[in-house]
Amino acid sequence: MNNPSENPREPGSAASPAGDAAASRREARRRLLKGGLAAAPVALTITSRPVLGAIECHGPTGFQSANVSRLVGQAADPACGTRKRPADWVAAGVTWPAGYTRAMLFGTAFPGTTLYAALTLEQVLAGPTTGTANDKLIAQLVVAALLNTASTTVPSATQVRAVWTGYLGNNFRPGSEAIWSASKIIKYLQYTMGIAVTFP
């Protein structure tokens, strides 16, 4: 076996032209794979990150990984549409979207709820006088978010209602995430309105 002509796989062995071609193809494939695998992480890194400051709209399931450096304090942005805060909607002279009125009951807009059900949407936006601080703030935010759904892309009216129902049941869990605390619900709703939020 030490004779190079007996084992064509040994280095320095004599090889046929067909063997040389096969070896050449194997080497070319090896180089291609090595080069391709080395370049893949660079290409993925470049294409997977949004431009800093890019505007993004996210539903509850995408919120945790969202780029929270959104436009803040602006009534509208090109990606997300018009966003108003509770104080904007309760202000005199503001036109409400079709299907909603200042006199509509909270319980009509959020079926199945008992908390604040007898208050009007305008009363909730102005600030309920009963309930915990979180109850009051989240109620104000969900009304504003619901009204915003008429001109924004995210969240949907169904998602806003699910946030409220989940908050009341202490079981709001978008996707497979852990149950959201009141603090996280508040941050998410504020985020949808262009209010700056931070993560602990």
Residues 115-133: pLDDT tens digits?
Answer: 999 999 999 999 999 999 9
| Per-residue pLDDT, 48 | 33
| Per-residue pLDDT, 56 | 45
Residue 149 pLDDT greater than 50, yes or no = yes
pLDDT tens digits, 47-95: 333 332 333 455 554 454 444 444 444 445 555 666 789 999 999 999 9
Measure Cα distances from 107 to 110, 113, 130, 134, 192 in Å. 5, 6, 16, 18, 23
Backbone phi, then psi, for 81, in 5-degree steps? 90, -165
Segment 30-52 mean pLDDT? 45
Segment 18-22 mean pLDDT? 67
What's the predicted TM-score (pTM) here?
0.65
